[in-house]
Amino acid sequence: MLQYKEYYMPRSVVELFDFMEQKDGAVDIVSGGTDCFAREKDLSKRPDTAADISKIEEFAGIELQGDVITFGANTRIQQFLNDAALIDGVPMLRHAASYFADQQIRELATVGGNLANASPTGDMVPPLLALDAVVHTLMKDGDRMSGRDIPVADFIQGVGKSALCGGEVIVSVSCPVLRGYGCAFKKVGMRRSLCVSTVNSAFLVKVDPSGRRFEDVRIAFGGIAPTPTRLKTVEDQLKGGPILKERIRKMTDCLPDDIVRSRSRREYRETVVRNFLVAGLLEALAEIDILPE
Ligand X SMILES: Cc1cc2nc3c(=O)[nH]c(=O)nc-3n(C[C@H](O)[C@H](O)[C@H](O)COP(=O)(O)OP(=O)(O)OC[C@H]3O[C@@H](n4cnc5c(N)ncnc54)[C@H](O)[C@@H]3O)c2cc1C
> Which spans of this chain sit near ligand X (rule: CB under 6 A)?
28-36, 38, 53, 59, 73, 100-101, 105, 108-110, 112-114, 116-117, 122-123, 164, 169-170, 194, 196
What ranges in the chain are assigned the alpha helix state H? 13-22, 79-82, 84-89, 91-97, 103-106, 111-117, 125-130, 152-155, 232-238, 245-250, 266-287
Residue 31 or 243 with smaller CB distance to ligand X: 31
Give the residue nearest to ligand X (CB): 113
| C-beta separation of 153 from 230 below 8 A | yes
Residue 37 CB, shortest distance to ligand X, in Å, is: 7
Residue 196 CB, shortest distance to ligand X, in Å, is: 6
Residue 50 or 204 with smaller CB distance to ligand X: 50
Residue 233 CB, shortest distance to ligand X, in Å, is: 26
Residue 117 CB, shortest distance to ligand X, in Å, is: 4
Residue 93 or 116 with smaller CB distance to ligand X: 116
Residue 263 CB, shortest distance to ligand X, in Å, is: 20
| 43, 100, 170, 182, 242 from 190: Cα distances, Å | 30, 14, 30, 28, 36
> Where on the phi/psi map is residue 61: left (φ > 0), alpha (ψ -120 to 50), or beta?
left
Residue 50 or 285 with smaller CB distance to ligand X: 50
Q: What is the identity of the amino acid at 31?
A: S
Residue 77 or 217 with smaller CB distance to ligand X: 77
Output DSSP code: residue 79. Answer: H
| C-beta separation of 78 from 107 below 8 A | yes
